[in-house]
């Protein structure tokens, strides 16, 4: 997995790793930490179309429910079955094994840089 400094981010605390016309999406360590222990993850179906800024999944902890927003408009090409079976991966390795979905896209919307996201969360 890429270094955090090489990822792009959204204000909804997702990270995006762009590789050609495919983006891998997860939630940040900051978001995972705020949620607490993740116990259930619901992801969109492979093949479904997602629109940037809409809710496409849920990440539940013991205490609360977090929504997964699509950071990008496109088609879901892959979801992380491992994280559905073992939701604790979101806490344990949010930038790696805890990735959530891969989306093929035609156009990349404006995203936050590492510096911008770090400023957003006050770090």
Partner 1 sequence: MTSDTAAHPDSAPQAERFSPLHQAHVDAGANFTDFAGWQMPVRYSSDLAEHHAVRTSAGIFDLSHMAEIVISGPEAGAYLDYALAGKLSAIDLLQAKYSLILNRAGGIIDDVVVYRTAENEYLVIANAGNRFPAFEALSARAARFDVTVTDTSDDVALIAVQGPNSRAILEATADLTVDGDLPALKYYRALGGTFQAGTVLVARTGYTGEDGFELYVDVSDAAALWDALCAAGASFHLVPAGLASRDTLRLEAGMPLYGHELSTSTYPAQAGLGRVVNLGKEVDFIGREASEEGPSAEARVLVGLASAGKRAGRADYLVYRSADATVSDGVITSGALSPTLGHPIAMAYVAPGLARSGTEVFVDVRGTRVPATVTALPFYKRQK
User: Are 32 and 98 a contacting pair, CB within 8 Å?
Assistant: yes
Residue 65 touches partner 1, criterion: CB under 8 A: yes
| 98's tokens | 């805890």
**Comparison of 17 and 36: residue with beta carbon closer to partner 1:** 36
Site for partner 1 in 70-99 (CB under 8 A): 91
Residue 58 touches partner 1, criterion: CB under 8 A: yes
Residue 121 touches partner 1, criterion: CB under 8 A: no
Q: How far apart are CA 7 and CA 17, in angstroms?
A: 5
Q: Which residue's entry shows tokens 């179906």? A: 45
Minimum distance, C-beta of residue 65 to partner 1, in the bound complex (Å): 7
Q: How far apart are CA 61 and CA 34, in angstroms?
A: 10
- Binding region for partner 1 (CB under 8 A): 33, 36-37, 39-40, 42, 58, 60-63, 65, 91
């Amino acid at each position: 997995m890429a270094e955090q400094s090489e990822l792009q981010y959204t204000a909804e605390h997702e990270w995006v790793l762009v590789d050609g016309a495919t983006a891998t999406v997860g939630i940040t360590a900051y978001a995972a930490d705020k949620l607490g222990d993740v116990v259930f993850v619901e992801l969109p179906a492979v093949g479904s179309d997602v629109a940037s800024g809409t809710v496409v999944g849920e990440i539940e902890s013991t205490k609360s429910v977090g929504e997964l927003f699509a950071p990008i408009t496109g088609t879901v090409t892959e979801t992380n079955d491992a994280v559905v079976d073992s939701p604790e991966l979101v806490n344990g390795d949010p930038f790696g094994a805890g990735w959530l979905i891969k989306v093929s896209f035609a156009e990349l919307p404006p995203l936050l840089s590492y510096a911008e996201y770090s400023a957003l969360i006050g770090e």
